[in-house]
Structure 1
Amino acid sequence: MKEQLIKAMQRNQFLNMMYMAKDGQVSKRRIKIIKIGSDSFQAYCFNKQAKRTFIIDSVLVVVPVLHKEREVV
């Protein structure tokens, strides 16, 4: 998982993430990674509109956000 997070940070990608909190609640977040440590990472969370620290082992899934541009005809 850590390698996937590092690649996303290097590519400056936005991610959709499923995350399990300490109390066992699962949440879906849209994030942009700021920095990665040994067992946690800091990211801007668009859901909470603030910087948050996440534990890498608590991340269930990350998927890059794909932007589709609309055409004007």
Structure 2
Amino acid sequence: MVFSTSNTPGALYRVLSIFDKYSINMSKIESRPVKFNPFNYIFFVDIENNKNTENAINEIKKYCRNFKDFGNI
């Protein structure tokens, strides 16, 4: 998945804490700067799906400016 958050203190923490809340393991996280938008980043995250993944994604979307789920394998 890929998402961006607001550039405010704790914004990324709020999203990442949802993975803990739903016992979802992150296998990768990577940040990239947003072109032409200083101090803003997009985050690429790989997770291990479980029965709570759909609920977690729905909650994560509430805290994100942009969100894209690339599906699973």
TM-score normalised by structure 2 residue count: 0.28
Q: Which has the higher strand share?
A: 1
TM-score (normalised: structure 1): 0.28
Which has more radius of gyration? 1
The structure richer in helix per residue is: 2
Which protein has greater RCO, CA pairs closer than 8 Å, 6+ apart?
Answer: 2
